[in-house]
Amino acid sequence: MSIDEIAIRKTERLFGACYPVESLSFFLTPSRIPYETAVKRDFKPVKVGESFGPTWWTSWFRVTVTIPKAWKGEEVHFVWECDGEAMVWRDGIPVQGLTKEGEKTSYILTEKLTDEDPHSLELYVELACNGLFGAGKGSLIAPPDPNRSFTLHKAELVIFNRAVHELLIDFEIISDMAKLLGTENQRSYQALYTANKMVNACDVEDPSTFAEVHRLASDFLQQQNGESQHTVHAMGHCHIDTAWLWPYEESIRKCARSWVSAVHLMKKNPNFIFTCSQAQQLQWVKCLYPVLYTQIQEYAAKGQFITVGGTWVEMDGNLPSGESMVRQFLQGQRFFQQEFGKYCCEFWLPDTFGYSAQLPQIMQGCGITRFLTQKLSWNLVNEFPLLNTVKNNKDKGRVNDSAFLFGFGDGGGGPTQDMLDRLQRVQNTDGLPRVKQSTPDAFFSILEADTTMLCTWVGELFLELHNGSYTSQAKIKKGNRKCECILRSIEVVSSLASVQKESFDYPSSQLQNLWRLLLLNQFHDVLPGSCIQSVVEDAVKFYEEIQSGGNELLKEAIQCLLGGSVQETGKNINVLNTLSWERTEVISMPRLEGDEVLALVKVPSVGFATVTSPLVPPHPVIVASQGNGSVLMENGILKVVFDSMGRMTSLTHLLYKRETIPEGCFGNQFVLFDDIPLYWDAWDVMDYHLETRKPVSQVLKSLEVVCPGGVRGSVRHSIRISDTSKIRQEIILDACCPYIKFKTEVEWQEAHKFLKVEFPTTVHSPNATYEIQFGHLQRPTHWNTSWDWARFEVWGHKWADLSEHGFGVALFNDCKYGYSVHQNVMTLSLLRAPKAPDATADMGHHHFTYAFMPHAGSFQEANVIQFAYNINYPLHIVPAEPSVSASSFWSAFSIQSPAVILETIKQAEDRKNALVIRLYESHGSTVVTWLHTSLPVKQAMWCDLLEQPLATKTLPITDFQIQLSFTPFQIRSLLLIF
């Protein structure tokens, strides 16, 4: 008999006698209701073999069981095999998660039945009508089948044959060694011969032979390694996507099912170590499963349940702003400290689609010096040189330890008892690496003991896959950017109001709630747009909640700071600027008659101006229609010509006398591509899509003049993408403005298409620059190597720049993240149309703005960074009180050097009399500068990103100024005491 046949025969004897449940009843509900509510509902009889649904509904079962007295001394399991995910409740407490996909199909009622054990009991089973990976129709990532049914295949009591289980584990390990170690490895032959001996010694009909078979296995497995053998640090883990192919609400139950199973394993296995990240998930369990949460805290105190990561969720590593990344750690670390008594030491991000170059600095500022990921092994083109597996370890000879996370993940489930039994057998078996149950701290401490030989990587960790996720689900991308901006504005204005007005209460708790909603939506399958439709709907709802609640908070703070009311209309207005530089811009002023009047105004840094009369532009905008349907616009800085389709045929920087558009080319050229990835639809865009480029060229409405000039010139046009999709655009050139703005509306009804806008330029450089969190980085504009070629689509934030010595061009946006700069063509990615896992992705109406700016000198000298901020943070217009009759200016903060950006002003987390201001060096230079403030600051000191003071010594304040110093791209935070 073969090894496999023995295993099959043994599996058939894993369960002995079985006994039916005494009664089984159920009810269905479309809602996810708590246990206390469910047990009060009416249950009706049901039988094994029946099916339940539809998808996302919940079926609650009441199960009455009676264990036969004849089973005394036996291990008794309640077996539940069903297509959906289930939770067993006993005495009002969740006790076991069950799912076939996660190899958990039984709940142990007793390991050895005694007379004192309860023989009759009542259980409740909460069945989620979805699988471990949702309910995709036909494939894993297909949109969910809304009408799927989930069948109950088995519900019974059984005797579990522990001896058979032990032999099965023995057989599996030794037969795997025989198959997988390879024919060149002598140990594989030893495993084969040992397995053959086991087969000969085993009589599946005679349990008395089992002891000899187990002895043979033990003798083989206990042959130990030499001292130089590699050590694998095994850590139980259960990566749970906070939302992906299932909605947020189901993730809450996934956490409970997975963690209650882990706690159950901890009770049986005192050496079992389980690592758990994401404060948001723990917060959910704390609120909805308090008994389980108490158990988690108890095992955390014992050192078995280990919290890791330090962030609110495992966020996307590319698209959140720098401040959002800080808040992920601030909210996460504070939660772990408050709930578990310590900060996390390691950043845990195994499944994110790339990692920003600024993450190490942000991590260190939040008390984290260690980092773990697995995702880079997915690279499509280049094998990433930092993988830590035994076979592909790129640090061979440098380190002799690696980490191994085990357990069912993504959809949850976590480790199983079988996994733990296998690990116990191979702790030190000749031919295999040493394996030990370990902790992240133990593993990283060994690596840190000698870092001199470790390989290092400088810059971003770019994932050569999933670069379509920079564009998919445009509504989510826009919601993220707009909410990041409004939360910043609320904090700035509220901070100023709290210092200036004693009556104002800084809205700490409201802001925390809104921030946590935003951070939740930055999870690495939500913000990238790789989630199902119901998750998108939840995310959009959260963005609307943030904007609605945020607008109310902002209005209250502005009214307190400036007086007046947004309802008042009069001759004068207050214009508020939350950014840290003076701004001269065209605004729309409200008037009593209800009309709006355009005006050019100047507003100070982090302050306001009361405007009684607008500025007169030194060079008014000129708009002139040409005979061939084209239009020329000029404002003294730029001269631009558009053809009848809204394409730029010429763009001249007047001061530098430089033409920006190559002859015969068109700027603002919309282009359409076929976009059919190999598999990961919403995630990927493949390089071959570039071969399908088609310019969008069918005119619906030719260019027409909207604003004829003065402080603003603008034109409007519309073009057809297809029979169902079209673009409508207003192109704006303002007085004193060095860039052209494109306010764009798209009606988008496409399938597997990719819409972009191109700007060919006369600028040539081997590298382009892209904004990232708290800084920027360069990427090649050529495809010389496979590493260059893999970056055919890249991510950036508010701007990208292409510059040669002395001249360049910049491309801004207010809600986009996908870019491509190849040779001399700058491209902004606008919309995709993937069909999995959301068949409706991006369908509908879209509004967004981008801008194009030629400039003399470097992008730093041309203030590209500041102008990109301006587009994303419009000036706030508030009618002034009727009594105000004279112009006035007030600035709370200003910075001498344009290289330093004041990113954040907020109230300190634990001190009402203190503000935290966060600044960063944006040019890539070493800077010594002065921060000026008109606020009554008593003390100033540096603090870390968790707002803990870095030294007891305060900074000197001279004439309301504080001297600051920065190294390139350094992030620094000041604690200001009032």
- Whether residue 256 is found in the same domain as residue 180: no
Q: How crowded is residue 664: how many other Cβ atoms within 10 Å of its Cβ?
A: 7
- Whether residue 900 is found in the same domain as residue 866: no
- DSSP string of 640-681? EEE-TTS-EEEEEETTTTEE-SPTT--BSEEEEEE---SS-T
Query: Cα-atom radius of gyration of the chain, to the nearest Å?
Result: 32
Cα four-point dihedral sign 431, 436, 440, 442:
negative
- Whether residue 684 is found in the same domain as residue 652: yes
Looking at the 3D structure of the chain, how many domains does it have?
6
Give the bridge partners for 940, in sequence order: 976
Both structure tokens of 163: 């001896």
Type and span of the H or E element at 285: helix 279-288
**Tokens 């050229």 correspond to what residue?**
669
- Give the N- to C-terminal CA distance of the chain in Å, as an integer: 83
List the strands of the sheet with 961-966, edge to edge: 893-895, 927-933, 961-966
User: CA 912 to CA 976: how far, in whole Å?
Assistant: 11
CA distances (Å), 309 to each of 112, 321, 501, 575, in order? 39, 19, 39, 42
The answer to whether residue 896 sits within a structural domain is yes
Tell me, what CATH number does 253's domain have?
Answer: 3.20.110.10
Tell me, what CATH number does 73's domain have?
Answer: 2.60.120.260
Of residues 221, 168, 226, the one with CA closest to residue 194 = 221
The answer to whether residue 399 sits within a structural domain is yes
DSSP state of 468: G
Give the pairing type, strands 927-933 and 893-895: antiparallel
Tell me, what CATH number does 970's domain have?
Answer: 2.60.40.1360
Q: Which residues contact 21 (CB under 8 A, 6 or more apart)?
A: 63, 64, 65, 155, 156, 157
The stretches in the chain having pLDDT less than 50 are 384-385, 387-389, 566
- Whether residue 269 is found in the same domain as residue 194: no
The answer to whether residue 572 sits within a structural domain is no
Q: Residues with catalytic annotation? A: 351
| 773 φ/ψ angles, rounded to the nearest 5 degrees | -60, 125
Of residues 43, 51, 49, the one with CA closest to residue 23 = 43
The answer to whether 144 touches 54, Cβ cutoff 8 Å, is no
Which amino acid type is present at position 627? G
The answer to whether residue 408 sits within a structural domain is yes
Of residues 938, 941, 934, 930, the one with CA closest to residue 960 = 934
Identify the domain boundary among 467, 484, 503.
467
Identify the domain boundary among 407, 432, 467.
467
CA distances (Å), 60 to each of 23, 89, 152, 668, in order? 14, 10, 12, 57
Length of the chain equals: 978
| Residue 497: domain span | 472-565
Q: How crowded is residue 43: how many other Cβ atoms within 10 Å of its Cβ?
A: 16
- Whether residue 208 is found in the same domain as residue 233: no
- Whether residue 254 is found in the same domain as residue 362: yes
- Whether residue 478 is found in the same domain as residue 399: no
Give the pairing type, strands 740-748 and 775-780: unpaired
- DSSP string of 837-891? S-TTTT-EEEEEEEEEEEEES-TTTTTHHHHHHHHHSPPEEEEPPTT--S-EEEE
**What per-residue confidence (pLDDT) applies to 235?**
95
H-type alpha helices, 742-834: 786-789
User: CA 598 to CA 712: how far, in whole Å?
Assistant: 8
**What per-residue confidence (pLDDT) applies to 387?**
36
The answer to whether 597 touches 575, Cβ cutoff 8 Å, is no
User: CA 790 to CA 199: how far, in whole Å?
Assistant: 51
Burial profile 322-338: b = 16 or more Cβ within 10 angstroms, e = fewer: bbbbbbbbbbbbbbbee
- Whether residue 295 is found in the same domain as residue 205: no
The answer to whether 265 touches 420, Cβ cutoff 8 Å, is yes
Q: Which residues contact 95 (CB under 8 A, 6 or more apart)?
A: 88, 89, 107, 260, 264
- Whether residue 187 is found in the same domain as residue 238: no
**What is the tens place of the pLDDT at every residue in 617-670?**
999 999 999 988 999 999 999 999 999 999 999 999 999 999 999 999 999 999
